[in-house]
Structure 1
């Protein structure tokens, strides 16, 4: 679950910085506010859907999204 939250936080951080040029976003560049938001979102998704989202599903989503951006 922590990897899912981290992946979501990284995605949110990319969205927030989409109008800036950022070479690479790592866990170190995710702000605490974005990390907290990602945790809240995942908690709400889990409550609303009662689904377990696996790390693999997040990685597939991330890679698919990234390919579309390129």
Structure 2
């Protein structure tokens, strides 16, 4: 809820608003991935590009996961 001055009016935001925001972010992420993979498939003229991209991104995720430290362990 917002007042006429553009600030908050003190009412708490509901859970539905939070779910809507997260859903919108997920939609934008899915759209970005589908556009990128679609372009790669068109460029490669083969759906094998999907598997290649998935493998490359999985390798990047594995490398980045090694960089995460938990409680300095």
TM over 0.5: no
**Quick check: which has more Rg, 1 or 2?**
2
Greater percentage in helix: 1
Of structures 1 and 2, the one scoring higher in RCO (CA 8 A, sep 6+) is 1
